Each structure stands twice: as structure tokens, then as C-alpha cells.
Amino acid sequence: MVDFTGLEPSAEIVRLVRDGVGGVVLFDKNVAEPAQIASLTNALQRIAADAGRPPLLISMDQEGGPVVRLRAGATHFPSAMAFGAAGSEALVASAAGITARELRAVGVQMNFAPVLDVNTNPLNPVIGVRSYGEDPERVGRLGTAAVRALEVSGVAATVKHFPGHGDTSVDSHLGLPVVEHDLRHLDRMELAPYRPVIAAGCAAVMTAHIIFRALDPERPATVSPAVLGFLRERLGFTGVLVTDSMAMDAITGYASRGEAAVQAVLAGADIILACGAHEAQQEALHAVRAAASHGRIPPGRIEDAAARVRALKERFKVGERAIVPVDEIPRRVGVPAHQVVADRAGEAAVTLVRDPERLLALGPGPVEVVDGAAGEATAVRLADALRAAGRDAVTVPAEGLAPDRGAVRVVPVGHPRRDTPETRAAAARVAHAAAAAGPLIAVATGAPYVLTEVPGRATCLAVYGDDPASLRAAARALAGLITPQGVLPVALS
């Protein structure tokens, strides 16, 4: 499975499809709006058909929250942690079913979601709100609801990142994390969510580029026969094993692209996610072919992997539905009824962490939304949402805040994509400056851990993302139109 750059098939992807790759993964660089994606997937499938190749398995990461590819014109659901705060399996299932139907409408048959990482490490820089929380039972329960709904609605779910990326302080995109926990701890925490999901018939599992000392002291899980064998033999998984991107630094620092791909196949991976430069993709493809032809990879290993991928394609009718009707997109993607479910999820997630000065709900007076402590343009969008909720809101810069003139200040804090000590420290500086100038409400638009850096007298609200539904829910809670009902899915110390 490979990626490429562009809104239309590039010369490189045409060559790769004709050369026999089995699938394509789409990223932001391939996406403008739903009708364009449908046209793109149709074009890719026609290239495969014209070359006499089987229908392609087309995938993307449509997790919700900060990690989505279908965005403009589609339904953007809140993050997994928002659903963790809401705690409703029914709500998770409704959102996952809609996500699946919108993906199938644009020609995508495989979703790299849901995330089953148990986010027990507050310093985790890459998972955060992508996780349902720190309780493995809740992660497994909600993850199972998502898997069942995705697959009933025609999309192969791919749970990730096995055995677990939740208790790391290193981003595997940038380095190689190492987990030192013993097997008893892994069994109780990281591995626990996989049992109900596997029992529910999950189609695919994505591996993590992480060393788990208790399972293999030397090799990342992706290239470890011990780790992937544990998934097959001890946990009973019989579906498709797909690697995380082989372009990530955690794996490129371990071995060359060709050697890493060969080792992953030998370890038990069925799909190699060969992302990155065209030359690196060709290196991986040619290395696996050479290893198979020279006997390093046994024929049975290739046949076994191919059989699993064929079975997945048959289960989800990839061949029957390879070409999708572009003219039906407006009736199937981003429709008002779907947005109602996204808004319901956002509102169910809103969590009041503390309100010592009883600032909720805001009265009719002016509201200043302070910029500079969250993601780009988050303050502007929150101010827009407050005005839509009937409050007189303006954005003000963090620098040079004047003393209170009768306005309550609202500060969105935290970054849903980059929850690092640096981003938290920057948010804390803005929050302290705003608190010194008058009454303050801090709204966590990423992982709520950042609220521990906010002055104690400030009101703190968590919405777990800066997606449109979460910001609308924050504004409605601030305006007193809804009462926060969410429960923190992670502990704040």
C-alpha cells in the first residue's frame, strides 16, 4: 500500500499501480473536497482495471478530532477522547456508522481507526485526544462499538497501534519509543482493549514502531515475529496485519526501507504501508520481491498474506463497489442529519473541570477570546461560535492585555496535535497573563492535561478538540445554553 502527492493520479502512482501494488492510502495532500476524492478513487481503480490488476484497497485515517482527511464538505466528528468523556457506546456507533457511509461514498473501503492506545502518559506527544482515555476497559468498550459500526456499514476498521502507543513520551514519527513495562502490565493495560475488538471480528490491526522489552528486547513491533506472533497466537487475531507508515523515523533509523519491508513481511505483516519518496517505495517493493524469489521469504508467507487481503476485499465487496457515483455525493456526505450527530457528540463531551468563581454561564456582557494559547485560528473560530450562540465576543491578542474592563476573558488552551511541554508552557503563559487582567475561563481544546498549568482561580472547561462541533459545544456551554455533562477520561494531577 502506497501514497502519492496530488489531487489527481501522479505519474508515480500510475506506475506503482500498474506494477502491482495492492492499495493506496490518501492523506491531506490528496484531498480537496468529497466529489474530488470520489473522482480520484475512481481514476485509481480504472488505472488498476486497465492494467489487469485487482481492485485497489483504498484507505485513509478518518479518526475524528485532529486526524481526519475528509474535512471540508464532510462530517467532522470530535476526537476519540471527546467520545471517551461522553462515555456512550451508542454515540460512538452512530458516529462510526456515518463515517463509514461517507467514506464508502467517496470510494474509501478501509479506515485506519479507531485508536486503541490507552493514554496513560500525560507527556505523550502524539496520541493524546486520539485516545478514548486512560481506562483500558473504556477504550476497549468504545473501540468495539466503533469497529462494529464501521464494519456493518461497509468499511474495514483498522485498530492501532499494536501493542500500544499510549504510554510513550516519544513520537514514533520522530524517534524510536521503548516501553519497559513487564508482560503483566502490558496484559492489563495496553493489550486489554484488543481482546473485545478481536472477538468482535475486527478486520485489521496496525502495528506500532515501538520496542516492547517484555515481548522483544531488540526489534520494533512492526518487524518482530515475537510481537506479531503474540497477536496471532495469544490473542487469536486472524485478520489483516498492516504496518504503520514505513517512512517514520522510528523504522527508517532501524533499517533501510527495503530491509525493513522484508523483515515486516517475515514477522507476519500482510500489508506494508510504503509511504514516502517514490524511490523508497520502489526499494521496498523490489526488496520484498527479491526476498520472495530467492527464498528468504517462504512462498507460504506470501500466499498467507495474499489470502488474508483477498478475504478482506471480498468481505467488504471492494470489487463490486470499486467505482462510486460522484453525482450522489451531495446526498450522502456532510448532510445535515450527520452534522446533528457530530454536534450531539460535541455537547455530550463538554466537561466542567472547575468553576470556583461561578463564571458559567456567561451573562450578556462582552467576552474577550484571547488568542495565542491554542492551535492556529482557534480563538477566532471560538469567538465566531460564541457570537452564533448569542454572545458579544471579540478576539484579543495575548500580548499587552489590559486590566479587566468588565469583560470575561476566555482562553482556548492546548493543541490537539502537538501536546508537548513546550505547547503547554506557552498556553500557561497566556493563561496566567489573562488571569492577572481579570476573570478567566480556560477552555482545553486539546488534551485536558494543560489545565493543570492554568491558575487555580480560573474556570476550566474541557472539550478535547478544536474541530467545529467541539467549538460550537464549548460556546453553547459558555453561553449557558447547555449544561456540561462530560466526565474526564484521564486524571489531572
Which residue did the predictor score with more confidence, 385 or 437?
A: 385
Please say whether the beta carbons of 469 and 78 come within 8 A: yes
Please say whether the beta carbons of 69 and 27 come within 8 A: yes
Confidence of residue 153 (pLDDT cuts 50, 70, 90): very high
Look up the pTM and report it: 0.96
Query: Options 3.10.20.30, 3.40.50.2000, 3.30.428.10, 3.40.50.1700; which CATH number does 350-478 get?
Result: 3.40.50.1700
Residue 307 C-alpha from the chain's centroid: 28
User: Where does 51-167 have alpha helices with state H?
Assistant: 80-86, 89-105, 136-152
Hey, is 371 helix, strand or coil?
strand
Please say whether the beta carbons of 179 and 193 come within 8 A: no
Decide if pLDDT at 119 tops 90: yes
Q: Between the CA of residue 107 and those of 56, 111, 289, 304, what are the distances in Å?
A: 10, 11, 29, 26
- Classify residue 34 as exposed, middle or buried by CB count within 10 Å of its CB (0-12, 13-18, 19+): buried
pLDDT, tens digit, for every residue of 316-346? 999 999 999 999 999 999 999 999 999 999 9
Decide if pLDDT at 407 tops 90: no
Mean pLDDT confidence for 422-440 = 89
Q: Between the CA of residue 389 and those of 438, 467, 476, what are the distances in Å?
A: 23, 17, 6
Whole-number pLDDT of residue 288: 97
Whole-number pLDDT of residue 398: 85
Active site residue 432: no
271 secondary structure, DSSP code: B
Active site residue 28: no
Nearest CA to 191 among 237, 145, 156? Answer: 237
Whole-number pLDDT of residue 487: 98
Whole-number pLDDT of residue 177: 86
- Grid-cell match 469497529, residue found: 147
Mean pLDDT confidence for 199-206 = 97
Mean pLDDT confidence for 207-227 = 96
| Parallel, antiparallel or unpaired: strands 459-462 and 351-354 | antiparallel
Task: Calculate the average pLDDT of the chain.
Answer: 95
pLDDT, tens digit, for every residue of 80-105? 999 999 999 999 999 999 999 999 99
- Whole-number Å distance between alpha carbons of 170 and 63: 21
- Whole-number Å distance between alpha carbons of 182 and 205: 22
Please say whether the beta carbons of 403 and 438 come within 8 A: yes
- Between 168-177, 265-274, 441-450, the lowest mean confidence (pLDDT) is in 168-177
Whole-number pLDDT of residue 168: 87
Q: Which of 3, 61, 171, 244 is catalytic?
A: 244
What residues have CB less than 8 Å from 21, skipping those under 6 apart? 1, 2, 56, 274, 285
Q: Is domain 11-332 given the CATH code 3.40.50.980 in the classification?
A: no
Please say whether the beta carbons of 131 and 117 come within 8 A: yes
pLDDT, tens digit, for every residue of 356-403? 999 998 888 889 999 988 877 899 999 999 999 999 999 999 887 877
- Whole-number Å distance between alpha carbons of 491 and 493: 6
Q: Which of 19, 173, 185, 187 is catalytic?
A: 173
Nearest CA to 83 among 110, 124, 115, 112? Answer: 115
- As a whole-number percent, the residues of the chain with pLDDT over 90 amount to 87
* Domains of the chain by residue range: 11-332, 350-478
- As a whole-number percent, the residues of the chain with pLDDT over 70 amount to 100
HSE-CB of 136 using CA atoms within 13 angstroms: 17
Buried b (16+ CB within 10 A) or exposed e, 372-393: bbbbeebbebbbbbbeebebeb
Whole-number pLDDT of residue 176: 87
- Grid-cell match 505547547, residue found: 423
What residues have CB less than 8 Å from 451, skipping those under 6 apart? 353, 413, 414, 442, 444, 460, 462, 492
